[in-house]
Structure 1
Amino acid sequence: LATDGVKFVYNFCVAPSASTPHLYISALPFAPEGSVLCRTLKTRFHHTARVVEGFHQKWPATQALFQGHTDYVRSVAFSPDGTRKLVSGSEDKTVRVWDTDRGVQIGNPLQGHTSVVTSVAFSPDG
């Protein structure tokens, strides 16, 4: 289920980053019918859109792996301004900013946290 959740966020990050209810209202209908996520959640949301053509039976192949953290990643957030940046916070006490188009880290890790980074976010106005 966690793997499906990551793929779900990766594929449908734009709408939920602007409005959390869009996770279920507008993105869930496009989750592959055979995914654990779809089978688990779709029955709980009866009034969502119905996709009649062009839906997938399984998730598309992974597009990129981001490497750099030395411990578990606890939180990620996508930029709301359309620049396709991702920020991640980790148990390695760092925050990293990523270019999702190129799959590379932008700049050096943000260091200095005294504990695990459990939450990250972008400012809504950039």
Structure 2
Amino acid sequence: MPEETVLYVCTTCRAEGDTSETRAGARLLAALRERLPEDTAGLRVEGVECLSVCKRPCSVAVASPGRWTYVYGDLDAEASAQTILAGIGLYAGTVDGIVPWRERPEAFRKGVVARIPPSPPVKEAGRP
């Protein structure tokens, strides 16, 4: 069974010049949830209070056990949802989380903030 992929969306991101009462990050989360197909298995979309990428709003992170974690910024709250979901679909289809550069959506190629290696497996007591 494939491991669950989690898309973390910074809900506290505020776009420059944004005067809306609802922050851009919260609007992005709502747009993603609205466009997420009901039969999507293995993907969880979660709002988080801060990803510390404040200079590049809106930001998201994608993670899955045994795969690289990616953080992306500079995403438009209203226009990026479908692009993000397409990119996450590509990510979920890999063994290690690495989607070939040319296959990534342009927003992911330009907006990558960080790539974090997979956590090593937890060692059992008494085993090296």
Q: Under a length normalisation based on structure 1, what TM-score does the superposition of the two structures give?
A: 0.28
Which of 1 and 2 has greater Rg? Answer: 1
Q: What TM-score, normalized by structure 2, do the two folds share?
A: 0.28
